[in-house]
Homo-oligomer: A and B are copies of this chain.
Amino acid sequence: MQQPKRLKDLSKNEYKRILERSTSKVEEALSAVIPIIKEVKENGDEALVKFTARFDKVNLTAQDLIVSKERIEAAYKKTSPDVVASLKRMRDQVCHFHQHQIRKEWSINKFADKGEGRYELGERFIPIERVGVYVPGGKANYPSTAIMAVVPAKIAGVSQIILASPPRKTDQMADVVIVAADIAGAHLLINIGGVQAVAALAYGTSTIPEVDMIVGPGNAYVNVAKAYLSGLGEVAIDSPAGPSEILILADDSANPSYIARDMLSQAEHAEDNSAVLVTTSKKLADKVYQYLESEVDKCLRKKIIKKSLEDYGAILIADSLSEAIEFTNEFAPEHLEIMTERPHQVLKEIKNAGSVFLGDFSPVAAGDYLTGTNHILPTGGSARRFSGLSVETFLKKITYQSLSKKALNLMSEDIARLASLEGPYNEHIRSVKAREEG
**A79-132, CB < 8 A from B:** 82-83, 86-87, 89-90, 96-97, 100-101, 106, 108, 110, 119-121, 123-124, 126, 128-129
The interface residues of chain B lying within 8 Å CB-to-CB of A354 are 398-399
Copies in the complex: 2
- Tell me if A411 and B366 are in contact (CB < 8 A): yes
Binary CB contact string for chain A from 267 to 285 against chain B (1 if under 8 A, 0 otherwise): 1110000000000000000
The interface residues of chain B lying within 8 Å CB-to-CB of A435 are 258, 360-361, 363
Q: Does A207 contact B (CB under 8 A)?
A: no
How many whole Å from A379's CB to the nearest CB in chain B?
10
- Tell me if A365 and B268 are in contact (CB < 8 A): no
The interface residues of chain B lying within 8 Å CB-to-CB of A213 are 385
The interface residues of chain B lying within 8 Å CB-to-CB of A414 are 86, 89-90, 369-370
How many whole Å from A277's CB to the nearest CB in chain B?
14
- Tell me if B423 and A365 are in contact (CB < 8 A): no
The interface residues of chain B lying within 8 Å CB-to-CB of A262 are 431
The interface residues of chain B lying within 8 Å CB-to-CB of A59 are none
- Tell me if A400 and B101 are in contact (CB < 8 A): no
Q: Does A359 contact B (CB under 8 A)?
A: yes
How many whole Å from A237's CB to the nearest CB in chain B?
9
A343 to B401 CA separation, bound complex (whole angstroms): 11
**A205-258, CB < 8 A from B:** 212-213, 224, 227-228, 230-233, 235-236, 240, 255, 257-258
Our pick among B87, B212, B261, B411 for the contact of A434 (Cβ within 8 Å) is B261
The interface residues of chain B lying within 8 Å CB-to-CB of A300 are 424, 426-427
How many whole Å from A246's CB to the nearest CB in chain B?
10
A414 to B147 CA separation, bound complex (whole angstroms): 15
Q: Does A417 contact B (CB under 8 A)?
A: yes
Our pick among B27, B387, B422, B434 for the contact of A143 (Cβ within 8 Å) is B422
The interface residues of chain B lying within 8 Å CB-to-CB of A399 are 97, 354-356, 373-374, 388
Q: Does A404 contact B (CB under 8 A)?
A: yes
A386 to B237 CA separation, bound complex (whole angstroms): 10
The interface residues of chain B lying within 8 Å CB-to-CB of A108 are 96-97, 100
A383 to B397 CA separation, bound complex (whole angstroms): 9
22 residue pairs of the A-B complex, CB under 8 angstroms, read A96-B108, A97-B399, A100-B108, A140-B422, A143-B422, A144-B421, A228-B231, A230-B230, A255-B438, A257-B438, A258-B435, A264-B427, A268-B426, A269-B425, A356-B398, A357-B402, A358-B400, A361-B407, A361-B408, A362-B401, A366-B401, A387-B398
* Smallest CB-CB A-B distances: 9 pairs: A227-B231, A358-B402, A236-B385, A356-B400, A387-B397, A365-B428, A265-B431, A373-B399, A261-B431
* Interface positions of A (Cβ within 8 A of B): 26-27, 82-83, 86-87, 89-90, 96-97, 100-101, 106, 108, 110, 119-121, 123-124, 126, 128-129, 140-144, 176, 212-213, 224, 227-228, 230-233, 235-236, 240, 255, 257-258, 261-262, 264-265, 267-269, 299-301, 305, 343-344, 347, 350-374, 380, 382-388, 390, 392, 396-405, 407-408, 411, 414-415, 417-419, 421-432, 434-435, 438
